[in-house]
Amino acid sequence: MPAVVQRIVDACADLPARVIVTTGPVVDPDGLRLPTNAEAHRWLPHAEVMPRVSMVVGHGGHSTTMLALAHDLPVLVIPMFLLVDQPMVGKALESAGAGRRLPKRAPARAIRPVVEELLGAGAHRDAAAGLGAEIRDASGAETAAARIAALVSEGAVDRPEG
């Protein structure tokens, strides 16, 4: 994973954009070679970062991908693991026109034009905004809470004692 993150950072060097990198627990941000337009953090609250960014590069995890779309952001998915749902998330985004996907072995020279494309104007922005509107309209937390409450009241879930 450190090599993949470094290739992404290298691809973004000298872009006319501020690059914010979050590495999670696997990659040490201090081990990355950062260009002057980039900063790296082990963790940042995505809910605070998403309103300030123009696009997202991620591995196709549901949390970051859905949060990016909920903010109308196109996503470049670079799946880390082929045997989980990350490749399917990338394929679905690409099919919807709201993002792109590349293999984790993609070199910086292949990543850069995709990042430039997703940073720019185009149909991908409209597609991401359309998915974002659907996500916001779904009222996920309220819908989930109502369904759980219905399951509990129907006896499908045991109520805790006390």
| In the chain, where the domains are located | 2-137
Q: Give pLDDT, residue 91.
A: 97
Nearest in space to 115 (alpha carbons), one of 3, 23, 26, 7: 7
Residue 41: strand, helix, or coil: strand
Helix residue ranges per DSSP H, the chain: 2-12, 46-49, 62-70, 86-96, 108-119, 123-137, 140-153
Alpha-carbon distance values, 85 to 60, 72, 75, 94 (Å) = 8, 22, 16, 14
Reported CATH class of domain 2-137: alpha beta
For tokens 């859905």, the residue is 66
The mean pLDDT value for 34-52 works out to: 95
Q: What is the pLDDT of residue 121?
A: 96
Which residues are registered as beta bridge partners of 40?
A: 21
Q: Please give the pLDDT value at position 2.
A: 94
What's the gap between Cα 118 and its chain centre?
13
In this prediction, residue 5 has a pLDDT band, given cuts at 50, 70 and 90, of very high
- Burial (CB count <10 Å: 0-12, 13-18, 19+), residue 118: buried
